[in-house]
Structure 1
Amino acid sequence: MPVRLRKLIGTILIIVLVISYALIATTFAELLLGASPWWVHLLYFFFTGLLWVLPAMLIIKWMEKPAKPRS
């Protein structure tokens, strides 16, 4: 797969990941953490704010793979 196509697909995947992850994390917090103290909200949003980086790193690693030479 050409590098430019891989980067385009990866960029679209990251955008979809961030939007869907934010919606899911916020919905989960609203439904289950509504009556929790402020520090529970702080910890939840701290960890969920960092957790999306793991799948994004895998996508970026896939995007940056060098193209296979044609034989």
Structure 2
Amino acid sequence: MTPDWRKPVGMLAILALIAIWSIVIMSLSGVVGRWHWTLQFAFYLVAGIIWITPLKPLLRWMETGRWRA
């Protein structure tokens, strides 16, 4: 069995996605910090879940080499 190059590339892409997403969210903290605490909670809850959505196609690509099922 030969090692597949898609898995290391996919892992680096996941790490890059997490880094970029966290930088974007942190850059909005000055604006979000002025909101009521319930809006802040909702924003960070949604932002904490949204970054997961691109992972399914990326993980599929890592395993199969195809982006779509």
Query: Normalising to structure 2: TM-score of the pair?
Result: 0.81
Counterparts of 1:1-71 in structure 2, within 5 Å, are: 4-28=4-28, 30-65=29-64
**Amino acid in structure 2 at the alignment position of 1:37:** H
Higher relative contact order (CA 8 A, sep 6+): 1
Partners of 1:45 and 1:3 lie apart in 2 by 38
**Amino acid in structure 2 at the alignment position of 1:23:** I
Larger radius of gyration: 1
* SS across alignment from 1:4: coil
Q: Which has the higher helix share?
A: 1
Moved over 2 A (4+): none
**Amino acid in structure 2 at the alignment position of 1:65:** T
Matched pairs, number: 64
**Aligned Cα RMSD in Å?**
1.7
Partners of 2:10 and 2:60 lie apart in 1 by 10
